[in-house]
Structure 1
Amino acid sequence: MTHPLPQPLSDADWPEAALALRDGFAGKLNVYRVMAHHPALLAAWAPLRKHIVLDSALGLDRSEVVILRTAHRFGSAYEWAHHVSRARKLGFSDARIAALRDMPEGEDGLIARAVDALIDQRRLPPELDAELAAALGREAVFDLIATVGFYSVLGYLLMSYDTPIDDAIAAEMAAAPL
């Protein structure tokens, strides 16, 4: 017997246990509408999401570099499209965003090397950790590691369940491809 893959829940199908989250961040994106199939996980996810997305010691620009590189490395079209949109709103040029598919120079390159090390080696080598701590600060290194982990889990969910890119982001990417 085959089971259909979980799809984003409509408001009408939203579980009562997660209603408060639907009216906040979770009701806005398909990734969380899929995660709502497991209300306890979605509720546990919320505080970490707040820290990673809003309160990270990396700051918004560096966080976007981490997320875009992670999305690229995972091949997550959903996260790539959503964060191209977010990076553009932060003032990133398309050239800066596109460079994250390769190996950019400067601080973006340092961050990209860190993401690659975490994905490929499952750790930061001591010399890279020291370089990151000197450039970004120790708390930002912790947040970089946590951000890669957070978006890795989202990538697993998105790709396992073939989550569709949200309509507004798909339309934006169609109108202004990278």
Structure 2
Amino acid sequence: MTKTLQEQAASPGGGHGGMPKGLPPGNWHLSGASHIAPLPHGERSASVRFFLKVIRKVTREDFDYTVFTTLARLGRIFPVHAYFVSRLLYKGRIPIADKERVILRVAHHMGCAYEWAHHSVMAQDQGVTRLEIESIARTVDDGWTSRTCALFNATDDLLDGGKLTADTWHALREHLDDNQVVELCMLVGHYVMGAMIINTSGCEIEPRYLASLGESWTAGHPQD
């Protein structure tokens, strides 16, 4: 059986620096308890069941993501939100690979292990390497392009102060136009919201993504 993140953290060889495998150093929320359980099957409306089925088809999974069965508690808001997040992530004017980089930056800042696990996989699907994914948790990295630096500085400004400083704005505008800057602000804000819900409810990472998390770490850091 795949260990939960909390079990990995507690095991002697669980991870790098006492953290579960696959998580870079950070202030991760690993409470060990689910405060809000996913909506029970018997309480899911026809529209909720339909949208969960659509999500399974789009993601090519044979199981429901914990985050979506938890968000199903939003009732009539859930289908609207599911549509919104799919458009925000897969449409728009910012390339998806850049969006995944930004989401991982937000996940690390918020200590959201669930977001990190899922979007590490999704970022690799968009061509982001494992080494680059690991670097996203750092303050700076020599391997980042000027575009990536601008995106991360903008993300950090939004997370820390709720707006862009003048220097960050000018650097970002070399890579994004006005429409894209608006989209970036919405992307960061949405995944902060998602991280708050996930961290508060205690969404458990599905075994497939937990396994991928461990593989991504051991690939970059061979174990003794």
C-alpha RMSD of matched pairs (Å): 2.0
Structure with the greater alpha carbon radius of gyration: 2
Query: Structure 1 residue 149 and structure 2 residue 185: aligned?
Result: no
Q: Deviations over 1:36-71 (max 9, x none)?
A: 012122123133212211102111111011101000
Q: 2:165 corresponds to which residue?
A: 125
Distance 2:213 2:185 in 1: 28
Unaligned ranges ≥5, structure 2? 1-33, 57-62
Aligned equivalents of 1:149 and 1:44: distance in 2? 17
Provide the C-alpha distance between the structure 2 equivalents of 1:40 and 1:162, rounded to a whole number of angstroms.
Answer: 22
Q: C-alpha displacement at 1:11, in angstroms?
A: 4.3
Q: Distance in 2 between matches of 1:36 and 1:95?
A: 35
Q: Give the Cα separation in 2 of the matches to 1:139 and 1:37.
A: 32
Residues 134 and 175 (structure 1 numbering): CA distance in 2 closer, same or farther, change over 3 Å? closer
Change (3 A) 1:82 1:35: same
Give the total of aligned pairs.
Answer: 175
Contact 1:69 1:115 in 2 (8 A): yes
Q: Residue in 2 aligned with 1:22?
A: 52
Aligned residue number for residue 5 of structure 1: 35
1:24-63 equivalent positions in 2, closer than 5 A: 24-25=54-55, 28-63=64-99
Distance in 1 separating the partners of 2:99 and 2:86? 13
Instruction: Give 1:129 shift.
Output: 2.1
| Corresponding residue SS for 2:163 | coil
Looking at structure 1, the residues matched to 73 and 104 of structure 2 have their Cα atoms a distance apart, in angstroms, of 26
- Provide the residue aligned with 1:88 in structure 2: 124
Larger fraction in helix: 1
What is the percent sequence identity of the aligned residues? 21
Question: What's the TM-score, normalizing by structure 1?
Answer: 0.88
Q: Which residue of 2 aligns with 1:72?
A: 108
Distance 1:12 1:172 in 2: 31
| Farther off after superposition, 130-139 or 73-82 | 130-139
**Unpaired stretches in structure 1, ≥5 consecutive residues:** none
